[in-house]
Amino acid sequence: MNYIKKDNRIFIAGHRGMVGRSIKRSLENHGYKNLLLTNRTDLNLLDNAKVKKWFKVNKPEIVILAAAKVGGIEANNNYPADFILENLKIQTNIIENAWKNGTKRLLFLGSSCIYPKLAKQPLKEEYLLTGPLEQTNDAYAVAKIAGIKLCSSLRKQYGFDAISLMPTNLYGPGDNYHTSNSHVLPALIKKFHYAKMQNKNEVICWGSGSPKREFLYVNDLAEASIFVLEKVSISNESFNNIVESRDGILNIGTGNEISIKELAEMISFEIGYEGEIKWDNSKPDGTPRKLLDISKATTLGWTAKTSLKKGIKLTISHYMNELNSKSIRL
């Protein structure tokens, strides 16, 4: 049984970002054509009055909340007020107005940074709020936790069909390659490509290289989002047995991890850079290890399909195409 229909009015908040763009492509590939899309000029998601008016007029049946202010360690560390304020506003404006205007289903996309810094690995959904967060991105994490709690509270009190997905570290086509605001994988792609083009003898990377991370190709998250919208609902037994007892959150990842040092070496090889890799230990590492327990998603019937090696090859190819077409996000 599918819990959404091909002709449902589906609003993708943030459809121009990496995640939203991928979800849009996947929805279209699955035959969903009635997509409601806006840009910042037409709809400022930070402005509740405008969001309220838009929902009253358009009344989307399905809402996918992929819009967010995101960034790497440096951006989160330097601009915590921006991260918490903007994300709280975006989430509250969309979730509340979706609920008030009769949206049938809402999918909230969170982040694995919601889990405690030193939580037992792999990270299970029930570890939420069981310990201190990683300080370098705690403002962003708190905003995401608030979104989770808003969804679960509306579900508990009013029966609002809202589910929260917690993806691991994402990468892929349309990523942000800004020197200081990007995440680790796209930052490394840009760094090694630049070093190769400039014939640099060495590349200096942030931190020690020892932290371990899990990475998910963004197209796999898009497929997971559609899978959950179609197959998982508060009205079915699988949700009640597997998801509801954990604030309605579901981890989405690969179940595999790699050290940042190994990741740098893999990207360096795929780029074709032959110089030396050095590490700046004066820079923070962030959480020492972050691997999601994906057993709940696996039990529901979903698994990622793209290996890290294949995903990196595809991402580098997209990066080169974006550089050549001057459409890259820098």
Q: Kindly report, residue by residue over 199-219, the tens digit of the pLDDT.
A: 999 999 989 999 999 999 999
Tell me which of 3, 32, 115, 140 is the catalytic residue. Answer: 140
Q: Where are the beta strands (DSSP E) in the chain?
A: 10-13, 35-36, 62-65, 105-109, 162-167, 169-171, 202-206, 212-213, 215-217, 249-252, 258-259, 276-280, 289-290
pLDDT tens for 95-139 read 999 999 999 999 999 999 999 999 999 999 999 999 999 898 899
> What residue type is 192 in one-letter code?
F
pLDDT < 70: residue spans in the chain? 244-246, 329-330
State the pLDDT at residue 159.
94
158 is catalytic: no
State the pLDDT at residue 279.
97
Rounded to whole angstroms, the Cα distance separating 238 from 311 reads 30
Which pTM does this prediction carry? 0.94
Neighbours of 201 (CB within 10 A): 9
- Go through the domains of the chain in sequence order and give each one's CATH number: 10-172+214-257+290-306 (3.40.50.720)
State the pLDDT at residue 48.
98
Rounded to whole angstroms, the Cα distance separating 61 from 266 reads 43
> What residue type is 127 in one-letter code?
Y
State the pLDDT at residue 204.
96
Rounded to whole angstroms, the Cα distance separating 45 from 68 reads 10
Residues, the chain: 330
CA-to-CA dists, residue 138 to 116, 215, 254, angstroms: 10, 20, 24
Query: Which has the closest alpha carbon to 293: 112, 130, 116?
Result: 112
